Amino acid sequence: QSVLTQPPSASGTPGQRVSISCSGDNSNIGKNLVCWYQQLPGMAPRLLIFRNNQRPSGVADRFSGSKSGTSASLAISGLRSEDEAVYYCAAWDDNLSGPMFGGGTKLTVL
C-alpha cells in the first residue's frame, strides 16, 4: 500500500547517532512537506517532526529531520534506550489526495 519506503529496521548503541531514511516520489515527498512520527509498542503515534525539520514543543532536540528531493531522513543523536520504537515518515500524496505513511522502521537500541 505505502509508496513511502523505509528500511524495516535500524539499530544503534546508547549515545550513538542513527539515521532513518524515507524514499518517495514527485507525487509526495518531492513536492510536499514531511512529518515523522514515533510509535512505542501498544501506543498511538506521536508527532516528532513536522514541515520537514520542525520540532513540536516537548520533543527533544536530539531529533532532527531533513529533506532532499524525493527523500527524507530522521536523525537521532545521543541515542537512549527509550528511543526504541517504530518510526514512520509521512507526506501528502497527490494521488491519494491525503497523507501517506511509510511502512515504518523499527529502531533497536543495543
Partner 1 sequence: QVRLVQSGPEVKNPGASVRVSCKASGFSFPSFGFIWVRQAPGQGPEWMGWISASSHATSYARRFQGRVTMTTDTSTSTAFMDLSSLTSDDTGVYFCARASLTVRPDDAFDIWGQGTEVTVSS
Report which of 83, 85, 74 is spatially closest to residue 34, judged by C-alpha positions. 74
Q: How far is the CB of 34 from partner 1 (least distance, A)?
A: 10
Distance CA 38, CA 28 (A): 20
Distance CA 31, CA 82 (A): 33
Residue ranges in contact with partner 1 by CB under 8 A: 1-2, 32-33, 35, 37, 43-47, 50-51, 56, 88, 90, 92, 96-104
Nearer to partner 1, 38 or 71 (CB): 38
Q: In the beta sheet, which residues pair with residue 39?
A: 86
Nearer to partner 1, 83 or 93 (CB): 93
Nearer to partner 1, 35 or 109 (CB): 35
